[in-house]
Structure 1
Amino acid sequence: MNQIFIDDIRAQAQVGIYPEELAGSQPVILSLKLGISGRAARSDRIEDTIDYAVLVARLRGTLAERRFGLLEHLAEHLASLIFDEFRPLSVELTVHKPEVLPAVGRVGVMIARALDEHLNAASAPRYEMA
């Protein structure tokens, strides 16, 4: 499996649960590794791969449209969007907020999913807890 990687995508996001985070957006930094087939390596055609400029614009657009309480939820939402719209074989996504804690460089989450995991989760029934 081949991979596309995109590191240090800077974006603004409405994310957080603390009062100071609810007032507006704050910077987040995303990094991606996307598993892809080798088709584009053989064909040399953009149609056979993921256009990373389109992907980055879509991620930034989504972050501008929605509010997220937790980074975990933001990451899961973006991974689902990537699978649904761009169809990679796998997604590894890191999201971090720079300099949100004193004397800490960054705080974040990393998730890794395979396409079959995403498809199985999407088709699984959801149960409400009482």
Structure 2
Amino acid sequence: MSEDRLFLRGLQIMALCGALPEEQTRAQPFEMDIELGADLVPSGVSDQLGDTVDYSAVCAAVCAVTHGQRFELMEAMAHKVAEVCFGCDERVVHVTVEVRKLRPPVPYNLAISGVRITRRL
């Protein structure tokens, strides 16, 4: 199995995610890093987009699912994003998703809260 990775860093979205009532009605800023495990040898040899994972399509799918759904936990959002990534391209065999809430609503001097998950087929 290939150890190749395609990564997307700093994808910024607005999403409904959180346990507090106001977080369920007002979109908040989140940032994501996504790492896709796939065999990139064919695209390295051919230099053709059709031989690799189209990261633009992945970004579009992730933005669509996070915009159209309400999550109580970042864990659930990250899990859904991983599922979407697997659905974007059959070559993807594992996904790591990091979700960061950029302004967590807590009474502490906390800049970012987040989760990181890894899923494998």
Gapped regions of structure 2 (runs ≥ 5): none
1:4, distance to aligned residue in structure 2 (A) = 0.6
Separation in structure 2 between the aligned mates of residue 106 and residue 85 of structure 1, nearest angstrom? 29
Contact 2:29 2:103 (8 Å CA) reproduced: no
- Counterpart of 1:118 in structure 2 is none
Gapped regions of structure 1 (runs ≥ 5): 116-130
- Counterpart of 2:11 in structure 1 is 9
- Counterpart of 2:119 in structure 1 is 113
Pairwise mapping of residues 56-71 of structure 1 onto structure 2 (< 5 A)?
A: 56-71=59-74
| Superposition RMSD in Å | 1.2
Of residues 86, 96, 102 in structure 1, which corresponds to 2:100? Answer: 96
State, as a whole percentage, how many aligned pairs show the same letter. 28
- Counterpart of 2:20 in structure 1 is 18
Is it true that 1:32 corresponds to 2:34 in the alignment? yes
TM-score, normalising length: structure 1: 0.83
1:35-78 Cα distance to aligned partner (Å, 9 max, x none): 11021111111111111112111111111111111111111111
Higher helix content, 1 or 2: 1
Q: Which runs of 4+ in 1 moved over 3 A?
A: none
1:99, distance to aligned residue in structure 2 (A) = 2.4
Separation in structure 2 between the aligned mates of residue 28 and residue 111 of structure 1, nearest angstrom? 16
1:112, distance to aligned residue in structure 2 (A) = 0.8
Separation in structure 2 between the aligned mates of residue 62 and residue 80 of structure 1, nearest angstrom? 10
Separation in structure 2 between the aligned mates of residue 9 and residue 77 of structure 1, nearest angstrom? 15
Is it true that 1:44 corresponds to 2:47 in the alignment? yes
TM-score, normalising length: structure 2: 0.88
